[in-house]
Amino acid sequence: MGRSFVQLLIISLILGACLLGRFGQLHVPNRLQIVQQQGKLVVLTRLGASTYYQSNEGPEGVEYDLAKRFADRLGVQLVMALVDDMARLGVQLETGMADLAATGTTMAPWRRKRFVFATPYLHVRPQLIYRTGSRRPDGLANTVSGSLAVLAGTRPEWLLSHRQVDIPQLHWTALTKATSEDLLYRVWNKRIDYAVVNSNEFTLSQHFYPELRVAGNIGKPQGVAWMFRRDGDTSLLEAANRFFADLRASGDLAQLMEHYYGHLDKFDYVGTRVFIRHITDRLPLYRQAFREAAEKHQLDWRLLAAIGYQESHWNPEAKSPTGVRGIMMLTRPTARAIGVNDRLDAGQSIFGGAAYLKRMLMRIPERVPEPERTWFALAAYNIGYGHLLDAQTITKMQAADPESWTAVRKRLPLLAQKKWSKRLKYGYARGWQPVRYVENVRKYYRLLVRITEPAILDPKRIKADEALLESRSPFYLGGAAQSLY
């Protein structure tokens, strides 16, 4: 009797376990569910102008903005963990210490053998960089001699280390704890002869190092995409792909790319050199006035200074053929409206320009997000608010978003076309001017930010939250840890 009872108990336990499994009581959550249950998305990234950095305005960078939007979509907190060693990044990703890597990584074949990638959001080309005044190399394979630096784990390192490119006279090194900005700076100050960086990274830094040039592209364009570990669980990857598809369909991805790259389409070597010189010999004379005016109107003083440079090159006696005068090039009616008695007085002009910009900002609806709201205000500062409204009207007529700077800047030049100007309330305007105006102010502003905040891209700022990463319960332990490459 006792023995039968024990057998019956064992059978009941087995049946109970089967039923529990059958009805999902033993369900193991997938990676997406784990992220949502834990309430945070841990993203590995690297320091750089194209990825992630901290400014006085807070975190910035393409990868940061994308990751923040993705975390918001999942309803979780974003944790950005900085790494300076790509080999460690691979280990951290594979052992579940992070959920994904957003490092500006390209979808190279040797990476795809070990990791899976989301849909690429950008295509770039590695570029060979040299400094003007030195010998221009004819491509990587024809670089006769000198010193070259590449980032560890990149295609150029693979080409050199696997003897795909054999240059006996070339002394090259692969740096692990460095950024693309480090490489460009070393070429600029002549510590090395050449460097290889991705085209988007060079675009973001070219105005800061105007003597640098592109000798040529290396290989075909490569997609930049988020990287996930390869273990069969694709739930988070699929969520990321849906996120990028929606971002692309809504136009938000194009808008984000415009924010970071849209004002850098043309490079003016002479203009950039003059600007950097004037930062030293002119800006100190007016910096305090820009600071005080910006503080009064809750603006960034560097934005005001950028406007002043675009208007007059910080020349208080500047005068245009149309009669606008002073550092901020105020018209006589505008000066009267904002209480400026002497347009040639540098202080009055700067405070007047700040007041006028603030007035334009107040007219842009608050529902327009920053920094687009500022770009609209700059366009209105240059061409007048009425003409900006006309450009928005054309944008509506062409079924585009009138509150998207990307869309409106395409329509502003149409204000100069008779077939459009005769249909608009405020008539003809040289609409291409505010487009170039906004691009230039943005360029000068970004340069001033880089110069006044030199630590934002300093590798010493890399302080990955190791305690957080090491405390994470691994979702997947895929054998012995190996180098990413």
Among 311, 372, 403, 470, the active-site one is 311
Query: DSSP of 61-130, one letter per residue?
Result: SHHHHHHHHHHHHHT-EEEEEE-S-HHHHHHHHHTTSSSEE-SS-B--HHHHTTEEE---SEEE-EEEEE
Q: H/E element holding 148?
A: strand 146-151
Q: 51 with 103: CB under 8 angstroms?
A: yes
- Phi/psi of residue 181, each to 5°? -65, -35
Per the rule left: phi > 0, alpha: psi between -120 and 50, beta: everything else, 268 is: beta
Q: H/E element holding 214?
A: strand 212-217
Which two structure tokens, joined as six digits, stand for 377? 């205000």
Q: Residue for token digits 């190791």?
A: 466
Q: Give which of 481, 472, 372 is closest to 35, Cα–Cα.
A: 472
Which two structure tokens, joined as six digits, stand for 300? 């960034």
Whether 311 sits among the annotated catalytic residues: the reply is yes
Q: 161 with 95: CB under 8 angstroms?
A: no
3-state secondary structure 229-281: ECCCCCHHHHHHHHHHHHHHHHCHHHHHHHHHHCCCCCCCHHHHHHHHHHHHH
Active site residues: 311
